[in-house]
Amino acid sequence: MNGAELLIQAAVDADIEYCFANPGTTEMPLVAAMEGNKQFRPVLSLFEGVCTGAADGYGRVAGRPAMTLTHLGPGFANGMANLHNARRANSPIVNVVGDHASWHVNFDPPLASDIEGMARTVSKFVRTSRTADAIGNDFIDAVNAAWQPSGAIATLILPMDLQAKAVQQQPAQSVIRPPHRQFQSHRIEAVARMIKDGKRLVFIVGDNGLTETGLKAAGRLSQLDGVKLYAETFPRLSYRGGGLPDLDRLPYFPEKAIEVLNQYDVVVCAGVVEPISYFGYEGIPSRLAEASRLVTLAEVGDDVEKTLEALADSVSAPAFQQLTGPLPLPANEQALSPASVGQILSASLPDDCIVSVEGGTCGYPFFTASANAKKHRVMTNTGGAIGQGIPAGFGAALAEPGNTVICLQSDGSAQYTIQALWSIARSQLPVVILIAANHRYGILQNELRRYGIPELGPQSQALTELDNPKIDWLQLSQSYGVAAERVETNANLAVALERAIAAKEPRLIEMCL
């Protein structure tokens, strides 16, 4: 057995099923070692951002880490943007990065670089294995670092010679399944007292507070006078529909969020960190609520759903009321709009599907329309590095093979990891990609206006318009092996979406907006 074989065996023993991989020369012993393990599934991508984005989506849905395998510093660097998102999503990921042979690296060959320095910017755990015998324990330390109630990114760097070297020692340690989530009674009592005292409370709920159990408890609390609950603006994984309570997301722009929060005496954090403005705008504070009004009911990684349930019980909140209501549908023959896309998608969702949302154009309207849809889960872009939605959707599809995943995706951000289409085609999994094709960076045109440029000049247009040339999404999708169609009206989208979902294989729909 060599170091590489030891690592793959340790991964299988730790129930790590998938390895999202883009290997190169320095990972060849690891590639060779995979041959012996049928339970271990390498998934090739054409670009590392697809690997790390898929690992993020997999981690959110499966609740356990996937492995990524990348090639030296530049290969890892290509995966960093989506690791940034995964870090903000608290997704568990174990990155393995091959490095030059330990006796070779200090000669500074062309592909040498400071891999540890790169890895530290996105990882909680970074280590370079120094002996072949240590690889097993190093890997288990990495898995344990990543697989926590609040997941983390762990990066293990493996010199090529150690991968290929014979090993004597089996790992002494083993993977500890994530410790139980914490449940803090004194915090519950403190918040219950405020409610009983008649204070006006607004909750911001995240993490596992957005599960079915968590949302039902949130629904009970919402019925109390003076109590309001919001979901965090960008949840990692949030249940919606199927009669569950409709928690609005806290508004994105800080002036609106501040206005909302200012209506309450106390801002209660339930599975979220302190609410902070996404960007800093002159004259608007970073903190969306003053520190003096903030109370933590549950931290990220705590047992948020049980905490909310216990709180609802302790204040004798009414029983959970199933949400019912109509699913509004737009006029059939009209041209598509962001609002109509949200409505049509909401009406089309199959039960228990997963929706990966990236981009504001259709993302917010979908959220507005989907409260009364069938039960589904929504993943959002937690870190703001664009190019996350399609890879994350692919990872989610691998976490629940056969279940439908829908990617509701802006065209500009889709381009950053467009190579994901190939991996999806290869998998033949039921992933339906809806491209909101408005051929511009809409968010930036808004931000320019917020900055005080009401009319865009030629340079600003050149940097925010994507219409010269317009990308042909049909040809692009088909070139990677994903069947595609283009729709312009509401009626056509409804039909195309039904057909795509029924096909149970990869499909892309270009929505002309």
Q: Closest approach of Cβ 10 to a second copy, in Å? A: 17
Read off the DSSP letter of residue 440.
B
Burial class (CB in 10 A: 0-12, 13-18, 19+), 97: buried
Q: Which is nearer to a second copy, 70 or 222 (CB)?
A: 70
Q: Closest approach of Cβ 180 to a second copy, in Å? A: 27
- What's the rounded Cα separation, in Å, for the pair 474 and 471? 9
Q: Which is nearer to a second copy, 237 or 369 (CB)?
A: 237
Binding-site string for a second copy from residue 18 to residue 57, where x marks contact by CB under 8 A and - marks none = ---x-xxxx-xx-xx-xx------x-x-xx-x--------
Exactly one of 136, 383, 389, 395 binds a second copy (CB under 8 A); which one? 383
Q: Residues touching a second copy: how many (CB under 8 A)?
A: 99
> Rule CB under 8 A: which of 475-494 touch a second copy?
475-476, 478-481
- What's the rounded Cα separation, in Å, for the pair 377 and 4? 37
Burial class (CB in 10 A: 0-12, 13-18, 19+), 196: exposed
Q: Which is nearer to a second copy, 50 or 229 (CB)?
A: 50
12 in contact with a second copy (CB under 8 A) = no
Q: Closest approach of Cβ 225 to a second copy, in Å? A: 32
Exactly one of 234, 239, 320, 394 binds a second copy (CB under 8 A); which one? 234
138 in contact with a second copy (CB under 8 A) = no
Q: Closest approach of Cβ 207 to a second copy, in Å? A: 15
Q: Which is nearer to a second copy, 122 or 315 (CB)?
A: 122
Exactly one of 17, 56, 141, 161 binds a second copy (CB under 8 A); which one? 161
Whether the CB-CB separation of 199 and 265 falls below 8 Å is answered with: yes
In one-letter notation, the amino acid at residue 114 is D
> Rule CB under 8 A: which of 442-471 touch a second copy?
443-444, 447-448, 451, 453, 457-460, 462-464, 466, 468-471
Choices 98-106, 125-133, 343-351, 402-410; region in contact with a second copy by CB under 8 A: 98-106
Residue with tokens 């403190």: 190
Q: Closest approach of Cβ 408 to a second copy, in Å? A: 20
Choices 363-371, 397-405, 408-416, 494-502; region in contact with a second copy by CB under 8 A: 408-416
198 in contact with a second copy (CB under 8 A) = no
Q: Closest approach of Cβ 425 to a second copy, in Å? A: 5
- What's the rounded Cα separation, in Å, for the pair 223 and 458? 52
Q: Closest approach of Cβ 339 to a second copy, in Å? A: 24
Read off the DSSP letter of residue 47.
S
- What's the rounded Cα separation, in Å, for the pair 434 and 390? 10
495 in contact with a second copy (CB under 8 A) = no
Exactly one of 418, 420, 432, 496 binds a second copy (CB under 8 A); which one? 418
325 in contact with a second copy (CB under 8 A) = no
Whether the CB-CB separation of 215 and 207 falls below 8 Å is answered with: no
Q: Which is nearer to a second copy, 112 or 491 (CB)?
A: 112
Range 481-486 contact pairs with CB under 8 angstroms and sequence separation of 24 or more? 481/421, 481/422, 481/425, 481/426, 481/506, 482/421, 482/424, 482/425, 482/433, 482/506, 482/507, 482/508, 483/507, 483/508, 484/508, 484/509, 484/510, 485/509, 485/510, 486/510, 486/512
Choices 110-118, 148-156, 309-317, 355-363; region in contact with a second copy by CB under 8 A: 110-118
Token pair belonging to 358: 């990236």
- What's the rounded Cα separation, in Å, for the pair 209 and 207? 5
Contacts of 191 (CB under 8 A, 6+ apart): 201, 268, 295, 297, 311
> Rule CB under 8 A: which of 243-302 touch a second copy?
273-274, 276-282, 286-287
- What's the rounded Cα separation, in Å, for the pair 472 and 208? 39
Helix axes 420-427, 48-62, angle to 10 degrees: 60
Q: Which is nearer to a second copy, 183 or 281 (CB)?
A: 281
